[in-house]
Amino acid sequence: MLSKYGHFSDDDFEFVITRPDTPAPWINYISNGRYTRLISNTGGGYSFWVTPKLSRLTRHRYNSMPVDRPGHYLYFRDRATGDYWSPTWQPCVSDLKSYECRHGLNYTRISGSRNGLDVSTLYFVAPDADCEIWRVTVKNTTKAKKAYDVFSYVELGLGNALNDLVNQPNDQHFNDVFMDRKTRILYSSKRYWNTFGSATVEQSNQDYDKFVFMTSSLPLQGFDGNKAEFIGRWRSEQNPECVEKGKCRNTEITAGDATLALQTRLELKPGETREFVVLFGVVPRDSYKRDAQQAAKKYLNVKNTDAAFKALVADWRDYVSCVQVKTPDADMNRMVNVWNQYQTSCTFRFSRDASYYHGGLLFGRGFRDSCQDTFGPLMTRPDWVRQRLLEMSTHQFQNGSVVHCYYPLSGGYARTGHSDTPLWFPMAVAMYIMETGDFSILKQVTPYEDGGKATMLQHLYGCLDYTLSNLTKRNLPKFGPGDWNDTLDYMGRKGRGESVWNAMCLCYVLRMTVRLAGKVGDKARAAKYSKAYDKVAAAINKLCWDGDWYIVGTNDLGERVGTKKSKECKVYLNTQTWAVMSGVADRKRALSAMASAREYCDTPKGPKILHPAFRTINPNIGLATRCVPGKKENGAVFNHPVSWAVLAEAMLGHGDQAYDYYRKALPMNPVVDIDRYEMEPYVYSEYVTSPDHPTFGQASHAWLTGSSTWMLRDCTDWILGVRPDYDGLIIDPCVPRKWKKFSIRRKFRGKVYDVHVRNPKGVSKGVKEIRVDGELLKGNMIPVGAVTPAKKGAKPVVVKVDVLLG
């Protein structure tokens, strides 16, 4: 299926792209947590420091044609013939004798060859310096001596990316580029930095607090800091005038469109292989020369670069080793063992802020998104999650409400009033404690956004209390400007619309918190939230059941949406799945609701978010009715809700159906038409177009999607059935009946649990026997206390768990 454009490496740790003209840019992220670059298979992409909105480094040209311009490029010019080309194919788009891109975990290697020269460039970010390393290997495969001009090039867009986009003609007046001829480092900064959160005519009065720099280990021949001079008039990155003529103009600027371009010299004997390094990085303004020179001294040395890369590979191998599965499904194995874990690390770090679809200008760090994004790294790096949860608690207000998103560096935030946003925080905290047994986090004191302080437990309670204070007289949550579904944004603007999904989410979180309150001895809270659960669940079942499924809710006019009488959006997937997940539906209604979802919503690509799609604009529902049928929230196969369908079916014991939904959603699914699908086949996309649109099967919004974390936990926790709880590790698989055995090796609270499951009778669900290190276990929970710190250098204890289904 993937042979047309690429395939996974034999060990699954790389995706190998074998031709450059992929249906869309297929990208990767390389980052040390501060400096980040998005890198495509043809050298495109952009970089930023911490935040892509306020500290952008290189420019991303939205809607560019050709697509994926500009990028971070190398040009090789044969000094004898004048022929020039780029090993990344773009931007020159020359005919290449060979091409290959290998996207790995936090690195990318792109190779190309032309006219007797092989070039392979390894891209990654230094761990201890905020710089991007281009580690280049070249080989002269001819019998003649060769001499080349080598040009390295990036187009800058320093500071506020939104200001660069909407006010670039004025913004360019503050750019500086200059060469330090002693150290051969080319620098750039900006004398103006707008740190306002949105487009405004108000002026800042500050310098950009960073410098960027570029340097190379090859002998310097020239440089350029002016894009117009390097590219030339009426030209593009495809045919820069300086490259074509073989000579940079050595331009330094105090105004203009800034670039960093170096011209270096490379000579090769017949058959000779040489290596060199290019660095592009960012350093603090007040120590820019010292820090840039230190980075150059260390990382222009190939031995140091190779040592850093070796450590990077080892670190990411260790990261994914915490969860490893072996099932009869090879695609599931490679997804869970490598790429799903890697993707969730990216969603954790970048939220919905920096991708080719989230342009880094709007969202910042989404509160609800970031809560869910913790679920993936939680199994591997719980320390990351703890720190993130403490950070997020500071974006709550004293009344219990929370921001919808916030912006690192500026301290700004957006407060929208979405009805669901506060609920994800107590869910994330409870998940963290289930994973780690670390109840001490609840005693941590952090500030509110609007002054004052509270313990994490009080923050958690505040989210629930705020939501409970915003119920209607019918004991259902007010819809507000949207729930999880942002496009149902005019159901409840006047305060009368009711969200059934949010009522179910509230019940889900109440049930988790009742147990948590009990664990910390807070009987009063446990009783309060138990009573609240019963009240809201009763309202849902009394008012929102339509005979075979649960409705979407009511709008401000009191109109019911998602009923049998509805001509559009008759069945809504989310209220069927969460009826099961929250325990609101009894067994009979749960089975009916999920059967209705399968009957009306399922497609060859997975279940649609709703059916039928809206075809009439309804201002009393909102943006969903303005989306074209079959895309986005208007009837697409939206992978986030699909992940909840997987979970719900597994909770019901429907192993074949849960697996069917999971299998359809896999990005490397063999039935995918890759030219129609378009997106990267190694990470989840936000949605796939449904049969309601002519482009059925086309995916969009890859990488930064909540579906990645939920799909990972669907597989490990619910299909394979090894999931954490407050008191230990539950073993409760729900698998396809045809599976006869599988295993999962999972790190949990300082030990490694090596779980082997046999299914001789071909059942989907039902644990007959569990033996832990040979001892018969009573029940299906392995009791595990809090983490006991291991001695330095000691190997973790491996616990063998044998499970028999039947």
The tally of CA atoms less than 13 A away on the side-chain side of residue 429 is: 31
The C-alpha atoms of residue 327 and residue 741 are separated, in whole angstroms, by: 7
Give the strand pairing for 751-758 and 797-805.
Answer: parallel
CB 98 within 8 A of CB 119: no
Strand order in the sheet with 781-783: 722-725, 728-731, 781-783
Nearest to 317 by CA among 105, 27, 7, 8: 105
Angle between helices 573-581 and 639-651 (to 10 degrees): 40
User: Which residue among the candidates 291, 329, 486, 714 is catalytic per the annotation?
Assistant: 486
Angle in degrees, 0-180, between the axes of helices 424-436 and 456-468, rounded to the nearest 10: 140
Q: Which two tokens stand for residue 116?
A: 């007797």
CA 280 to chain centre: 24
Contact 369, 351 (CB under 8 A): yes
> Across the strands, what pairs with 731?
722
Q: How far, in Å, CA of 611 to CA of 597, rounded?
A: 9
Cβ neighbourhood burial of 743 (10 Å; 0-12, 13-18, 19+): middle
CA-to-CA dists, residue 302 to 214, 275, 276, 390, angstroms: 16, 8, 7, 40
- Residue 79 to residue 149: CA distance in whole angstroms: 7
Give, for 178, the enclosing helix (H) or strand (E): strand 175-180
- For 386, list phi and psi in degrees, rounded to 5: -55, -45
405 and 365 in contact (C-beta within 8 Å)?
A: yes
Q: Phi/psi at 624 (nearest 5 deg)?
A: -55, -35
Query: Under a CB-based contact definition with an 8 Å cutoff, are residues 631 and 623 in contact?
Result: no
- How many whole angstroms separate alpha carbon 560 and alpha carbon 469? 23
Tell me if the bond preceding 724 is cis, omega within 30° of 0.
no
Q: At a CB cut-off of 8 Å and minimum separation 6, what does 32 contact?
A: 125, 126, 127, 128, 130
User: In a 3-state reduction of DSSP, which class is residue 552?
Assistant: coil
What does 74-137 look like in DSSP terms, one character per residue?
A: EEEEETTT--EE-TTSTTTT---SEEEEEEETTEEEEEEEETTEEEEEEEEE-SSSSEEEEEEE
Q: Known catalytic residue: 486?
A: yes
653: exposed, middle or buried (Cβ count in 10 Å: 0-12, 13-18, 19+): middle
What are the residues facing 146 on neighbouring strands? 268
Question: CA gyration radius for the chain?
Answer: 28
CA dist 167 and 161 (Å) reads 10
Question: What are the residue numbers of the active site?
Answer: 486
